[in-house]
A and B are shown apart, each in its own frame.
Chain A
Amino acid sequence: MLEVRDLSVRFGEFAALRGVSLTVEEGELVVVLGANGAGKSTLFRTINGLIKPASGEIDFCGEKIGGRPANAVVKAGIAQSAEGRHLFPELSVLKNLTLGAYLRRRDRAGIKKSLEEAYELFPILYEKRNDPAGSLSGGQQQMVAVGRALMAKPKLLILDEPSLGLAPLVSRQVLDAVVEINKTGIMVLLAEQNAKAALKIAHRGYVVENGEVILAGSKDELMDNDDVRRAYMGT
């Protein structure tokens, strides 16, 4: 399981995260809600080692991973499809996916199997496997990003707004895939603009505002919370 305790991040004078605590238990799909700039991406990037925390701890499956570089965090079993996707635009879809399995590059049979699973989850990626990733549509690129993160065979998958900028139909397709992934036993930590859709598939959730967790609760608690409804669901 993932346990974040009292995590703070500063960019110079600006406190981007202030004492954030959060957990993801085995098998859970946890959603983080919040407006743009609330600190969701900063939180995820810090868990993944792209940003160094000012204070606080991050434990994952018994290992202290706070402050470790990103490549070491992947090794510990956390893969991220980050904001901005960060694909390798000139490499083919297949090469992007294969690089996702970089840390288990000697496990050829395992990689082949994971590739098949990724294609099963996103059949369009099989059709486009030889195209440069940069030539794909936004939705397809998002699928590559999720697929690439899965290729690492993570215990925890972190998805930062996987449906951002996608057409509603494609966005539903991506979220459906997230549910499928979670069902295979992979923990998922998800940030999503579409709060309603995200809460529908999640077990629990957190609401982040100005770098702080202001609310935490089960799916139903959050769905019934008036503030959440007003702020994130427009009802």
Chain B
Amino acid sequence: MELFLQQLVNAIALGSVYSLAALGLTLVFGVLRIPNLAHGALYMIGAYVTYFALTSYGIPYIVAIGISAAVLALIGVIVERLVFHPLRNAPHTHHLIAAVGVLFFLQSGAQVLWGSEFREMPSPFTGIVNVFGLNIGQQRLVVIFASILVMVALYLFLKKTVPGQTIEAIEQDRTGASLVGIDANRVSMMTFAISAALAAIAASLVAPINLVFPTMGEALNLKVFAIIILGGLGSIPGAIVGGFALALAEVFSSTYISNAFSEAIGFLFLLVVLAVRPTGLFSKGA
């Protein structure tokens, strides 16, 4: 029982990170219809920015995450302007190829600039907390609470503010959005900024548990794509539920079946869902 609860907490922490990263990806897909394969690379850069803010400038961890989110928001806008905006009327395959290009560019860039060694990110939250007899690492609690906080903030932004509503409007009817005077360009940039910032926050939260290295985004890339396909492309609840579902499946299969199996389970899960419901769990039947 104790093992079960311990692993449950681990799964929730992992799921929080998956959900945050998947939310960014699903937002970009919903607004721009771009499968942004460079998302994992933005996630990786986000981890490095936090790492250097912490180690080179001694900036406190939480502030460093905020800086990383801001820097990545800017990088997201630049990528949208430089790469995806010029392709906006091109066939979808071009978006895909361009995204892979950005992924390789950022990954190689990181390798050249910072080397390929694995770096350990120091976090001030190194203690262990005893909750109802369970020993939980402080960092995991930080991951869970920070993720929930960011998700609630994102939800309020999308539902309660005018800029957030423009994102929903474009997702639901692009022509309708332009007919009420919404500038799709502005919304595209804003969406990329939010998406990259979410990736940076997710990466910075999980980095002290895992490690920072140039290809850290690759495995995540596969997983977040599995998550948003599972949840329904463009769906926000789908990204959250999908993120937690994948984390639960991974953690418990490695605990009770085999460690070797845990990376594969997510994709097995995905195959089953796609066989039963090809449009994903939360799709609108489109």
Contact = CB atoms under 8 A, between A and B. Distances in A.
A99 B165 contact: yes
A74 B173 contact: no
B180 A152 contact: yes
A21 B284 CA distance: 42
A160 to B, nearest CB: 11
Given A102-B162, A102-B182, A105-B162, A87 B176 contact: yes
Contacts of A69: 178
Interface residues of B, number: 18
B168 A86 contact: no
Interface in A84-99: 84-91, 95, 98-99
B38 to A, nearest CB: 27
A82 B182 CA distance: 16
A82 B172 contact: no
B55 interface: no
Contact of A86 (B162, B176, B181, B183): B176
Contact of A50 (B165, B169, B178, B284): B178
B181 A71 contact: yes
A163 interface: no
Contacts of B162: 102, 105
B172 A88 contact: yes
A182 interface: no
Interface in A44-90: 48-50, 69-71, 74-75, 79-80, 82, 84-90
A87 B177 CA distance: 9
B258 interface: no
B182 to A, nearest CB: 6
B179 A102 contact: no
Interface in B136-181: 162, 165-166, 168-169, 172-173, 175-181
A86 B166 CA distance: 14
B183 A71 contact: yes
Interface in B174-196: 175-184
A75 B180 CA distance: 9
A15 interface: no
Contacts of A124: none
Contacts of B178: 49-50, 69-71
A103 B181 contact: yes
Contacts of B172: 88-91
Contact of B180 (A49, A85, A90, A102): A102
Given A88-B168, A91-B168, A102-B166, A80 B179 contact: yes
Given A74-B180, A89-B172, A102-B166, 10 more contacts: A82-B179, A88-B168, A90-B168, A90-B284, A99-B166, A99-B177, A99-B182, A102-B162, A102-B182, A152-B181
Closest 9 CB pairs of A and B: A86-B176, A74-B181, A70-B178, A103-B181, A88-B172, A71-B181, A86-B175, A86-B173, A102-B180
Interface of B: 162, 165-166, 168-169, 172-173, 175-184, 284
